[in-house]
A and B are shown apart, each in its own frame.
Chain A
Amino acid sequence: MTDPDRLRAIIAAHRDAEGPLLPILHDVQAAFGCIDAAAQAAIAAALNLSRAEVHGVVSFYHDFSQTPDHRPLVQLCRAEACQARGAEALAAVAQVAAGERVRVAAVYCLGLCSVGPNARIGDRLHARLDEDGLTRLIAAL
């Protein structure tokens, strides 16, 4: 649920910047776990945009979501360099280890392409993953 006071504070912190929409959306996503219709409407009103414009931006980018999912998130790199080091076999392992409790998503490149397969959990990156290592990481979430 979006807290209106906190939302107003986020908007106020950025509204005088050039091109403030993405910084606002990042902060709202981080604060509330999603950017719901109410938040989109409030942002649109504050920036003098239509709701459609804000919705269009929210739905364009992979980092933004419109409904919350508070499960822990594991982003497994599925790009070519990690595939060359066996990431595809790990994807199935990750799904089994995660079940419904943990969300497993694909990410395309974490910039650690010489030491894959790699994964990101929050702001922590993990390299040289194998089946055991990845399973342990997911179990610990």
Chain B
Amino acid sequence: MIRVRLADDALAIACGADAVAAAFAAAGCLVERCSSWGLHWLEPLAEIDGHGFGPLTPADVSAVLAGRSDRGIGPIATHPFLARQQRLTFARAGRTRPLSLDDYAATDGWAGLRRARALPPEQVIAEVAGSGLRGRGGAGFPAGVKWRTVAEAGGQSGTGRKYIVCNADEGDSGTFADRMLMEGDPFALLEGMAIAGHAVGAGHGYVYVRSEYPHAIARLRAAVALAAPIIAPFGVEVRVGAGAYVCGEETALLNSLEGRRGEVRAKPPLPALHGLFGRPTVVNNVLTLAAVPHILREGGAAAYHGLGTGRSRGTMPIQLAGNVRYGGLYETAFGITLNALIHDIGGGTASGRPVKAVQVGGPLGAYIHPDRFDLPFDYEAYAAADALIGHGGVVVFDDTADMARLARVAMQFCAIESCGKCTPCRIGSTRGVELIDRLRAPAPADAVAALPQMRNAPKGGRRRADDLALLEELCETMRFGSLCALGGFTPYPVLSALRQWPEDFA
């Protein structure tokens, strides 16, 4: 009997993998559903004896089985898109069945947890710190430092309730690595959380998943039920968000878990000291926690630290998205350039038109002009270039993109999703939308500004230069005056669009 492997993650299913699987089964094949390789342009991608066929529809199945399909891509594992990657966090992608404890154990699963539990907690924290692992959610805060803070919180004995919270509220457009990890390798996340629990002395963990990820929620809940005896006494519960982007911010997430409005908290106090229900709490992104089992294996920390560049150590699961020909998951060591990512690996735009701009780091990330595509993927290099890596999403736009409209989208998104707690974000975003509208289509003089009692309003209406200066000033206020990254980083896409494509604002 022919064994056919097909991914069963949300993306493969949305592309029609279930119908293709049914067609293979109807043709008498043994269909095995596994995780996705991350070759998204080829989904639904079927694997037979290591050889790939995709993208398939049910109508292609008979040709594939008869050996006369033109959809063959040869051996999957040595496909150029995969062969050049360095997969650590996604080492199992495409290779295992997501909910098979046997597959997980056969691929070094639980080895990190076993070794960690045999070590004193300080040693576990020292290894995580030594690996150079930084928070993959966007801020890039060293994971070891955060863990040490939580471990030492709560008095000398370090007793009392503590929590591990996994931030799986992956709201950034252009990112899907958390989703792929939760759907494709959920045990790795649970193993990472259990290791964190041992390291800091926490007995309970929450995974806060956004409600837009129904498949990931179901998969995680099933995985928790299966793995509960293995990670015990550590316990994990899956909680579901409710459609608020700002809950990806760690303090808003904690409020949401507590059953409150997802409003941002002022820091300090840090969540590490005063987090969920006021207790010391580790809040880490999915990718951060899922990298931990590898690091805690024998020699894992040194191997992880051996990859990367400068202070950005290890690998980053980069997500190629938007108008790109070969989109998908590309995990590699830090230091790769956008030129390599978009042209060599991504194959340029899907539309075949020239690349106009790339947005790295989600809706709050800067737009980057092709002139700067030699920028190395590195936290510090991006910060120095007024950009951010964020969660590693790379969204490609072709030359039909209107950068002024995209700048407006950024402000509008901030206005819709602002939690309302701080003024620069709540009000600044709406004023920003109005300003960009005025720049794009100069309106007649404002009726209120023309009133005689408005003595400070410029006579004869505002000039374009005034509006531009005002937009710059507004962005500066939002950047430095907002409580969290939503208001604080919205200026990145706006100003980067304005400065690099001023002609679009005319």
Residues of A within 8 A of B (CB): 17-23, 25-26, 47, 56-57, 60-64, 79-85, 107-116, 118, 120, 123-128
Contact = CB atoms under 8 A, between A and B. Distances in A.
A65 to B, nearest CB: 11
Contacts of B171: 108-109
B10 A112 contact: yes
Nearest to A17: B237
Nearest to A85: B323
B11 A108 contact: no
A114 B244 contact: no
Interface string B1-17: 00000000011011100
Contacts of B324: 114
B328 interface: yes
A124 B173 CA distance: 19
B170 interface: yes
Contact of A110 (B212, B240, B359): B212
A125 B16 CA distance: 10
8 contacts: A18-B277, A81-B322, A84-B398, A111-B10, A111-B170, A111-B179, A115-B41, A125-B215
Contact of B240 (A21, A26, A83): A26
Given A109-B172, A113-B174, A62 B15 contact: no
Interface stretch (B100-108, B117-125, B253-261): B253-261
B43 A115 contact: yes
Contacts of A80: 173-174, 322, 359, 363, 395, 406, 409
Interface residues of B, number: 61
Contacts of B14: 112, 115, 118, 124-127
B323 A21 contact: no
Nearest to B39: A114
A80 B359 CA distance: 9
B172 A85 contact: no
B423 interface: no
Nearest to B357: A84
B501 interface: no
A26 B263 CA distance: 19
Q: Closest 9 CB pairs between A and B?
A: A114-B327, A21-B259, A79-B173, A62-B243, A113-B321, A61-B242, A84-B322, A127-B14, A125-B14
A113 B176 contact: yes
Given A111-B10, A113-B175, 4 more contacts: A83-B409, A85-B323, A116-B322, A125-B10
Contact of A114 (B13, B40, B215, B258): B40
B18 to A, nearest CB: 10
Contacts of B242: 22, 25-26, 61-64
In this complex, the member of A83, A107, A115, A126 whose beta carbon has the largest number of chain B beta carbons within 10 angstroms is A115
A20 B174 contact: no
B192 to A, nearest CB: 20
B259 A22 contact: yes
Interface in B402-447: 406, 409, 413, 417, 419
A26 B259 CA distance: 11
Given A19-B259, A127-B14, A112 B401 contact: no
B214 to A, nearest CB: 4
A125 to B, nearest CB: 4
Contacts of B328: 114
Contacts of B260: 21, 57
A107 B258 contact: no
A34 B179 CA distance: 28
A115 B15 contact: yes
A109 B413 CA distance: 12
